[in-house]
Structures are given as C-alpha cells and as structure tokens.
A and B are shown apart, each in its own frame.
Chain A
C-alpha cells in the first residue's frame, strides 16, 4: 500500500514538473506575468512531491551512471558556463566604460586612497581592512578603472568556478557542473554584479573555498585541509563583515551539532571545531585591532536592534518577494537538494547556511535583503544537487527539464544584461572629473543629491573631507530635515545661516537636477550639468 502511494506521488511529481517547466518558459517568453499566479508556491509543491524520487536511481540508467559523463562533453559544458558568465557581464560594457552600480565611486575612492586617507566613514565600516589590503596588491598591477570593471568580472568567474568546485565536493561532478551553469544564468547573481557588490563577491569566493576545505577535512581528517579552512575563514571576516556573519553563524551551529553521530557525541571533534573557530576569530579580528575597531563596535547595536524589532534595516537589494519570483527556474530543485540532505539527516554546513540565511531573510533580521545574495548562492549549490537527483532518476526527461529551465533563465538574464546601464550619464561624470581642476585647492563641494554623491567622492579627485553629501561621508553636518529645508530654500539670509556650518569656498554640484538659490550662481555648465558657486 505504502509503495503504491509512493508510486502515485512519484508519477504526480513528474506531471507537475512538466507543467511547472511549461509555466516557467511561458513566463520567460513573456506570455505569462511573473506574478500572475502563486508560482513560488507551486515550486514548493513540486519539491515536496519530489521527495519520493530522492536517492532513487533508475535501473535502466545504472550502467550509464557508473560510466559517468563523456570527458569532452563535460569540459565543453564547463567552458560554456564560464563563457556565459563572462559574456553576460561584458554586455553592459560594450560601448560603455562607466562602471555599473551605485557604489562604484565609493569603491574608487576607497581603493585609491582608503588606507592613506583613513576617513572616519571608511574606518567605521565603509570598507573592511582586508579588502583594502587586497586592493593595495591589485593596484600594483592594474589601474583602478580596470579593477572596477575587468577584475570584478574576473572575480565573478572565480565565484562560478568555486561554486563548481564546492558543489562537486558535496554532490559529485555532474551536480558541480549544473551548479556552475545555474550560477552563470542566474538573474539574481547578475543583479549582484549590476549593483557592484564587490566585497560580497570576493568574500563569497573565499568563504566557499574555506567551506570546501571543511568538507575535505570531514573526509580526509588532514591538518592541512583544516588549516586552509581556518586561514580562509579568518580572511572572510577581514574582507566582508556581513558574509562573515553568515559564515560565523553557520559554523557556530555546525561546530556543536556535527560531532553528534549515530548516538555518540565526539568531544575531540567538538574541541577541534571550537579551537578552529577561535583561531578564525583571532585572524579576522587582527585586521580590525586599532584604527578599524569602530567597524566592529558601530555595527553591534544595529545587529542587536534588528533582533528586537525586525524589518527595519533591509539593506539595498531586491526584496524577498521579488527574489522568489526571480528564481523560479531553480527554486524547486534547490528545495529538492535541501530535502535530499534532510532526508539523510545530514546537517552539513550548506544545509545550516541555507537555514540560517533563509531565517534571516524571511524573518527580516539585520540587513535581510542583502543576505538574499548568500541565500541564493547556497540555493544554487543545492539546486545542482537537486537536478542531479532528477537526472539519476529519469535521465532523458531530467536533462530536458534542466535544459528548458536553463534556457528560460538565460532569456531573463540576457534581457537584464542588455538593459543594465550605469547610474550616471557620461556627461555628468565628465563634469565631475573636471571639478578639481576648476576650483580652489581648499574648496568644498556640496552634492545636491544622493544619486551623485558616490561619483563626486570617487571621480572628482577631491579629498573626502571636501565632499559634503546627503547622509554620507564625514563632512555632512545636516540631518534629513536640514537637507529638505536646504533644497527648498531660496532666500539669501536663510541660506547664509544654514551654510555657515561649512567651510568656504563652497561649490554645489547639481548635475542635471534643477536648483535655484540666490546665493548660488552657475560656475560651470556642460550638456545640462551644472556646477554652482556659493557667492553670499
């Protein structure tokens, strides 16, 4: 009876999967609205039905499974994955040399002079010390513009390769290859590139490598594997604090539950795990001792507050609602991969990573939208394993479903790549680059809008102290209400009174925004962009 029910559920799963695949293709082709139905719920239902096929290997496939994949086909698909990663990311730079994303200017300023200038906003968390030291090395070889565009693309490729290596260690060669290709076509991972979350990508590369060595250590028990895991883990903390937060929480839980096996608790393993954790912390903290300590102390109240009143500090990225509908192509298979481990009661580091980052995102704790990036990488790893289960069970249908879903994902990602544009126009940026050569050495520049702030900081060539921007950097002395008041001011006396807090000479970069004030007159103008001089 039980077997019969399983058979029925198994059959239903395949029918549901075919229907689901068709829906996803129709969405990608634009025949169906992404939010037209509760497709994310359907994804969960498909995955739940799929539990019965986990671990089943079709006897007809057995011989083929043992023989494995053709070597050249394997290498060809691997190369294809790498080519797709590069191609999608190069598209926005065809006939454009301006870096994508809001943070590009901030990164430019930080990489060029972060360690030299030691601005307070950098020391208190604007840029982690490990990242700045890494960039000091890169600067020996590349120009900062190359680092912002081409080296960043190289890191995206490296992340794809690390996802492959990590998934292969966890679920075998085919799972690794599938994970690499999913990463290549993932629209969410393309958005990470488009937002220019540089530190995030670098830290994820190192975190996955670190965890790769943890997986190796579980099997080999070699000290060298453990030592690389520890060193790389410490470096994650030095490069990006939010990634280290996920890494640390996952490892903390892992350290205590992993020694439990078959009814026994191995205290020796626990001791090794705890000591490794301590060394990781020491390596990470050694970067922050001294000047960079505020980067740790300033973030703690925010993290604590987020647990008391969740939902208040989302971080800038897509929302969880949008995310669920962006990953329809691999969501059921990621869940299938998760069930694969849960069914075996294998609470490995990836399962913990997914559960912890999923909880942070779902319950909206600290920085929850930004942790979607980490959740997505873990889900890609699991999706590789989920698809692998599918192919083991029904080879031809599995490969067909995989191919169709990947094609639907590539359609969406290529559209995203084609429509990605820099957040500033060439003309505005050209004027920003001219600011320094046209104003006094000790002059300050007020930036009218947040939109231009990072660009003025990075590309004007001014020292950070001389850039005054709404809600950013060190020199801003106004709160949001003050800025609101300033934007609506026009009278001389009131303007003089407000601006008395800032050193003179003073200029204002208005870009293409309209601005009228008796105390400011146009100083430079080009193609609709204006730089004003304070004259009162």
Chain B
C-alpha cells in the first residue's frame, strides 16, 4: 500500500518536472523570438543568448541545488527554519533560483579552471561537454540522494 503511494507520488513529481521543463523551453523560445524581432540581434544570436545563458548559468546550479536541498518549501513555511529534519534540506523558490545562478557561476569556472590546468583548452566544444558532465553527475547524485532521503 505505502509502496504504491510512493510510486504514485514519484510519478507525479516526474510528470510535474516534465511539464515544468516544457513550459520553460516554450517561454525561452518565445523570449528568444521576441529579442530577435525587437532588437538589433539576429534570431540565431538571440536563441544562443537565451538558451546558452540557461544552459551555462542556470541549469548546472539548479540541478546541484537538488543535491544539497531535496525539498522546495512554500512561502508560509519560510520563517520556521530547521524545526524538523526535513527543513534542513529545504529551501524556498527564491533561494533555489538565486542559488542556481550562484552555484553555476561557482561550479562551472572551477571545473573549467581545473580542466584547463590539466591541459583541456577552453572552447565552445570542451565547455559544452564539461557543463554536460557537471549536469549529468549532478543528476545522478541528486537522484541517489533523493532516494536515500525518501527511504
């Protein structure tokens, strides 16, 4: 019985994440088109800026924020910090968004710097795969920690 409930809630959160991701992609596409239409930048350039910023400056930190903080809490819960064990791994949305930028601008240059130190050149190709690596490792650790937390 409890296993079923857990499965259902996991499926629900996966669906929510999927819908959220699709909405974000659509919003970004609309913003890119708007920038392309109303500024001196071309469409290619505006898509590169919007999607590139998301990929480089937000996504790695966003995923790693789930490694450290599995729960996102609502506004009303804000003031009552660390009342129980769950609060220690919970932050609200404003904190998560800000943390996503902060962690991205911390993790990405650190990884790029240390890779550069061992001879990996800084270019678009290498940086893309370095960031993909950061995201993949983050996803794996977040998944593992989430399972551990739920159990």
**What residues make up the interface of A, taking CB atoms closer than 8 Å to B?**
68, 71, 74-75, 78, 115, 129-130, 133-134, 136-138, 140-142, 146, 158, 161-162, 164-165, 168-169, 172-173, 202, 205-206, 209, 219-220, 222, 224-225, 228, 231-232, 235, 238, 287
Contact = CB atoms under 8 A, between A and B. Distances in A.
A129 B116 CA distance: 12
A165 B95 CA distance: 6
Contacts of A224: 67-68
Given A71-B76, A162-B102, A235-B106, A228 B94 contact: no
A134 to B, nearest CB: 5
Contact of B102 (A74, A133, A146, A206): A206
Given A130-B109, A231-B110, A137 B102 contact: no
A140 B82 contact: no
A141 B109 contact: no
Nearest to B127: A140
A137 B98 contact: no
Nearest to A142: B49
B106 A232 contact: yes
Nearest to A72: B75
B68 A165 contact: no
Interface of B: 48-49, 52-53, 56-57, 67-68, 75-76, 78-79, 81-82, 88-89, 94-95, 97-99, 101-103, 105-106, 108-110, 112-113, 116, 122, 124, 127
Given A165-B94, A209-B99, A219-B81, A133 B127 contact: no
Contact of B109 (A75, A137, A164, A225): A137
Given A71-B75, A71-B76, A228-B68, A287 B113 contact: yes
A74 B75 contact: yes
Given A142-B49, A209-B102, A161 B68 contact: no
Given A136-B112, A137-B127, A158-B101, 19 more contacts: A71-B75, A75-B75, A78-B94, A133-B109, A134-B105, A134-B109, A136-B122, A138-B56, A140-B124, A142-B53, A161-B98, A164-B94, A168-B78, A202-B105, A209-B99, A225-B68, A232-B102, A235-B110, A287-B113
B79 A173 contact: yes
Closest 8 CB pairs of A and B: A141-B52, A220-B88, A133-B109, A209-B102, A224-B68, A134-B109, A161-B98, A133-B113
Nearest to A116: B122
Contacts of B52: 140-142
B53 A141 contact: yes
A238 B53 CA distance: 22
Contact of A141 (B56, B88, B122): B56
13 contacts: A136-B122, A137-B108, A140-B127, A141-B52, A142-B53, A162-B102, A164-B94, A173-B78, A202-B105, A205-B105, A206-B102, A219-B81, A222-B89
A133 B98 contact: no
B4 to A, nearest CB: 31
A136 B108 CA distance: 11
A244 to B, nearest CB: 14
Contacts of B48: 141
Nearest to B99: A209
A214 B74 CA distance: 23
Q: Which of A78, A129, A141 neighbours the largest number of chain B CB atoms within 10 Å of its CB?
A: A141
Nearest to A75: B75
Nearest to A150: B49
Nearest to B108: A137
A141 B58 CA distance: 13
Contacts of A238: 113
B127 A206 contact: no
A68 B49 contact: no
Contacts of A202: 105
Contacts of B88: 220, 222
